[in-house]
Structure 1
Amino acid sequence: MSLVSRDPILLTPGPLTTSLSTKTAMLRDWGSWDASFNAITAEVRKQLLDIANAHENHVCVPMQGSGTFSIEAAVNTLLPRDGHMLVLINGAYGKRMAKLVQMMGRKVSVFETPEDIPTTAADVERLLSGDRSITHVGLIHCETSTGILNPLAEIADIVARHRRSLIIDAMSSFGALAVDAAKVPFDALIAASGKCIEGPPGMGFVLVRKSVLEKAAGNSTSLSLDLYDQWSYMEKTTQWRFTPPTHIVAAFHQALMQFVAEGGQPARLARYQKNYEALMTGMDELGLKSFLDPKIQAPIIVTIHAPDSGNYEFKRFYNQVRDKGFVLYPGKLTQAETFRVGCIGAIGADEMRQAVHAIADALREMGITTKGTREKRLASELAVNTA
């Protein structure tokens, strides 16, 4: 039966379930030149720098569009046209970053590990020592295609020691996993509104080292994605260069205030960790296994091996779970049949346990026997035989 009485809970890596107050913030119209809206933009920029303790050396530049728009803006602006970028890949979003660099006509090298193997600091040490032409390194902090966590702090230290520039895709980690700009050296960190801050999608942002950005004028080959121009125009006018996503900015501001009220990054991570633990307890009871070793799994999105059954078909499974009020995410792997479950959004462990029940019911309705149903059947047979 479809739960039409409420919106489905989005167990995805974004868009994700937002709070009622965040949704409500989108009900007001704003003038893009209005002083009150410009004040909201300024406050959002400040709050984002607060989260990363980045006020001393960095500035925050918001950008229209999805997170990928901001990644492209950062790379196209900060990587000189004669630069050479090394992209560290263990999933689809690392491949996307490398493709962006290639399409911009810049030199790019890649280092790719399997989707369940993190890049190590030793890897980066060897690569940078072996090629002094590399000027920039691109790293995905939490690779959304699996949920794998790459060792940001260790890699950042190596990049800094070699005096290269580090650009971090923190799309799925910012706000949940700690990144302190005073301890982790980086030239740019990129994230978006519709992730761990729990705002709606439609706006990205870059925390960028001011001294680096000041030297980046003229690098970009794009008008709308020129990060330097966006920043310099905002500094002069307090306004966005082109029509801003006003409703998204206002709702994101509301989400940021809730983030602070909850207790900031430590509290957000603690809630997501409880969500993850509730999910994995339930998956274990069903006999479903995660793709990654828990030691390298971020509590953001979890890749789960599909049931080993001829009755399993993701689209049907997705629809069955969706009808029970929960939206899952397809797997993004080529070597294994998987599905993904997000642990982020304005939800708690209770909703995650309800999702586990929905998954169990959907599998049962598809005729798929899980560990839990096998144990119940055996217990029932035992009770009959001993009666």
Structure 2
Amino acid sequence: MRTGSATASEDFEPPALGEPYLLTPGPLTTAYAVKQTMLRDWGSWDGDFRAMTADLRRRLLALTGDTKSEFDCVPMQGSGSFCVEAMLGSFVPRDGKVLVLANGAYGLRAAQTMQYLGRAHTLLDKGDYLPPRGDEVAAILDADPAITHVIAIHCETSSGILNPVAEISKAVYSRGRKLLIDSMSAFGAIPLDINDIRYEAMVSSANKCIEGVPGFGFVIARKSELEAAKGRSHSLSLDVHAQWAAMEKTGQWRFTPPTHVVAAFLEALRIHEAEGGVAGRGARYERNRDVMVAGMRALGFETLLSDRWLSPIIVTFFCPAHANFAFDRFYELMKEKGFIIYPGKLTVVESFRIGCIGRMDEHVMRRVVDAAGRSLAEMNVPDAAPPRTALDERAKLAA
């Protein structure tokens, strides 16, 4: 791990061999020290690796503010979506009903997961531009007493919107229901302290704001919910209670763990702590966003969202209306300049996304803006303004 200032520009140089920066919501650009830890092999049953797993669980719990030992952390093999399915399948009773709050692809994926699970659910779909609000949640819960749980997406990365989970939580618990949070792309940079926001369980992933590499996610849940989940899961491998029980008894993962990924994640956690934890990481990402958004707007680009809802995780931009602009060409030109951006996921208008997370700072983001400007010039696109219809649609839906 490098020492010195956590914000010095030399700490945010691209990795060896000229690899591009990943301007995505994860996988993302990682520190060299994180990569370096994966050069060693670990025995999955060995005491040293069991100690690593215990350390991982303890450090993640510390990020939630759990001083009363009411919660526990259960790492799970697989991608973030594996963990979301594990959470829903383990903590929602088979006779329960879930209100799914959606304003993008990942809320809709949660609803799709409920369909696969064959468990009752209802969907509040706010589209791409707006978050679900507490009063809307309250009204739905009042109208449907069968709803037992609500699932909210902390940061919806298909649009880049940061959802108001605090007010959603108040609405949920004032009506005696339970909240589950998909904090996949926010945990580690956006506060989710259990002393400020009540929830039963949340999930996140190794390759997001902690800046590790893909391979596992984790469920942080109340111990009472973990105990109640025994025998409830629809799946052998996605049974959160069974994984928790095995780790509590043996310190081991039930099935082959991603040993190298765990080692990398522990190094990423050490870097995260050195940067100032959630507050320090979040502050850097916010500065990344502010510098990048200001620069892109100066080029004529428009953000999908108003400033109020822009997350410091990823930002969606409308594609320019100019006839010479083609996203595929823009993507390749940006990649040639050392930056991999992200296609859009909107259904109404053409868009693309630029991530603010990963091992980079505001100096890198200025280079991103410069690369975007040079790419537009190479495409002979003098104006990055979006189609008038896109702005009209944004204004109509945001009204």
TM-score per shorter chain, which class?
Answer: over 0.9
For residue 102 of structure 1, what is the aligned residue in structure 2?
A: 115
**Residue identity opposite 1:148 in structure 2:** I
Does residue 1:235 correspond to 2:233, yes or no? Answer: no
Contact 2:28/2:357, CA 8 A, preserved across alignment: yes
* CA 241–4 in structure 1, closer or farther in 2 if over 3 Å, else same: closer
What does residue range 301-380 of structure 1 map to in structure 2 within 5 Å?
301-370=314-383
Matching of residues 69-148 of structure 1 within 5 Å: 69-148=82-161
* 2:28 matched residue in structure 1: 16
Aligned to 1:379: none
Residue 41 (structure 2) aligns with: 29
* Distance in 2 (alpha carbons) for counterparts of 1:80 and 1:284: 47
> How many pairs are equivalent?
370
Aligned match of 2:204 in 180, 184, 191? 191
How far apart, CA to CA, are the structure 2 residues paired with 1:44 and 1:28?
18
CA distance in 1, matches of 2:297, 2:107: 30
Aligned equivalents of 1:262, 1:342: Cα separation in 2: 19
State the shift of 1:371 in Å.
6.6
Deviation at 1:46, TM superposition (A): 0.7
Q: State the Cα distance separating 1:54 from its structure 2 match.
A: 2.5
Deviations 1:350-385 (A, max 9, x none): 11111111111111111111379xxxxxxxxxxxxx
User: Which residue number in structure 2 is paired with residue 210 of structure 1?
Assistant: 223
- Residue 322 of structure 2 contacts residue 384 of structure 2 at CA under 8 Å; is this kept in 1? no
Distance 1:55 1:25 in 2: 30
How far apart are the structure 1 equivalents of 2:362 and 2:133?
Answer: 32
DSSP-derived class of the 2:18 partner:
coil
Partner of 2:79: 66
Moved over 2 A (4+): none
Q: SS state of the match for residue 284, structure 1?
A: helix
Q: Percent identity of the aligned residues?
A: 49
Superposition RMSD on alpha carbons, in Å? Answer: 1.3
1:264 aligns with 2:282: no
Counterpart-to-counterpart distance in 1, 2:71 and 2:384: 51
Cα deviation, residue 117, structure 1: 0.9
Are residues 1:287 and 2:300 paired?
yes
For 2:206 and 2:146, locate their aligned partners in 1 and report how far apart those are by CA, in whole Å.
35
Whether the 8 Å CA contact 1:285–1:371 is kept in 2: the answer is no
Distance 1:164 1:349, change over 3 A: same
For the residue of structure 1 that corresponds to 2:150, the secondary structure is strand
Whether the aligned pair in 2 keeps the contact of 1:49 and 1:55 (CA below 8 Å) is: no
Match of 2:266 in 1: 253
User: For the residues of structure 1 that align with 2:384 and 2:46, how far apart are their CA atoms?
Assistant: 59
TM-score (norm 2): 0.91
Structure 2 residue runs of 5 or longer lacking an equivalent are 1-14, 386-399
Q: Deviations over 1:233-265 (max 9, x none)?
A: 000000000000000000001000110011101
List per-residue Cα deviations over 1:259-286 (Å, max 9, x = no partner). Answer: 0011101110110011011101211210
What TM-score does the superposition give when structure 1 sets the normalisation length? 0.94
For residues 294 and 85 of structure 1, the distance between their equivalents in structure 2, rounded to whole angstroms, comes to: 31
CA-to-aligned-CA distance 1:205-245 (integer Å, 9 cap, x gap): 01111101101111111000000100000000000000000
Q: CA deviation at 1:5?
A: 4.4
User: Is the 1:98–1:108 contact (alpha carbons within 8 Å) kept by the matching residues of 2?
Assistant: yes
AA of the residue aligned to 1:10: L
The CA distance in 2 between the partners of 1:209 and 1:159, in whole Å, is 16
Return the match for 1:150 from 163, 169, 179: 163
Consecutive unaligned residues of structure 1, counting only runs of 5 or more, are 373-387
Q: Secondary structure at 1:214's aligned position in 2?
A: helix
Query: Which whole-Å CA distance do the structure 1 matches of 2:187 and 2:129 have between them?
Result: 21
Q: CA deviation at 1:79?
A: 0.8
2:89 corresponds to 1:38: no
Partner amino acid, structure 1, of 2:95:
D
Query: Larger Rg: 1 or 2?
Result: 1
**In structure 1, the residue corresponding to 2:374 is in which secondary structure?**
helix
Q: What is the SS of the residue equivalent to 2:228?
A: coil
